[in-house]
Amino acid sequence: MHHANHYYGHSHVLARYCGYESDLPLLRGYLQHGWNIGDGMAPDHEFTPGIPSFVWSERTRRRAWSMGRRQLYVTGSPWAYLVAMEPDEPQTREGTIYYPFHGWEGQHVQGDHDRLIDEIKATETGPVTVCLYWQEFRTPRVRRRYEEAGFRVICHGYRGGWWKDLDPQFLARQLAEQRRHQRVASNRLCSAVFYGVLAGCEPAVYGDPMQLDGEKDLFGGRGRIRRQWADLHGAEVDPDTARAITVEELGADRLLSPAELRHLLNWKKDA
């Protein structure tokens, strides 16, 4: 079981959907853990031949097939299952939750946070919550910039890694936060924006996109994203268009029944 299957509690969400309340069954395969424009997997993953990959959407499956990947199965995203399991309760939504592009343990993000803050202030009319990745949240000089700008600053938590510090509730916290907000935005099209749309937020993608140290534009990179998903960029995005694209990208129209998903993942309910 690849350790990335646990990122953000993805495997836990699927296990809960399949009826496992405590014991986490072994997921033999590679589970897509974030939206991307390639084969759905992280480019630095090493793949063992003969091990299946479980991707979110039919579009991703076709791309992966064209890249030579085999044993590909469309499951739908864990986020889509979580949204289906947690009906949206009536509540007053207010303001925007903004996700600045972030780095990761292997690469730090480079960009002008002050410029991004100015763009957010010039665009948003309601209160703003800035959600930082754990790495930036734990960097005081970054976090304080957003706090001093008057934004509410949060972090959904640590994604987990190498089977340690796992957080089965990561996505649940993210969903609860997003459902408090009217809008979801980022300076790059990313998983969080798609998640927000499925959670009922109006999306926006604007601001200095920043970049990672030594970033390489794989699979067409930033230019391709802006061309292919042009309808999702800008301070105002048509919500119906965004919803249709999101359903396809997250595989929300491809969700399996618990029995079907257990069969696909080779999970035995009585195990």
pLDDT for 174-196, tens place per residue?
999 999 999 999 999 999 999 99
CATH number of 96-249: 3.40.50
Identity at 241, one-letter amino acid code: T
pLDDT beyond 90 at 258: yes
Region(s) of the chain under CATH 3.40.50: 96-249
| Sign of the dihedral defined by the CA atoms of residues 191, 192, 194, 199, in that order | positive
147 vs 42, residue with greater confidence: 147
Q: Where are the alpha helices (DSSP H) in 43-112?
A: 58-66, 78-85
Element containing residue 129 per DSSP (H, E): strand 128-131
Instruction: Lowest mean pLDDT of 38-52, 62-76, 194-208, 248-262, name the range.
Output: 38-52
| pTM of the model as a whole | 0.92
Helix (H, G, I), strand (E, B) or coil at 128: strand
Distance from C-alpha of 235 to C-alpha of 124, rounded to nearest angstrom = 9
Averaged pLDDT score across all residues of the chain: 89
Q: Which of 26-30, 98-102, 174-178 has the highest mean pLDDT?
A: 174-178
End-to-end CA distance of the chain: 17
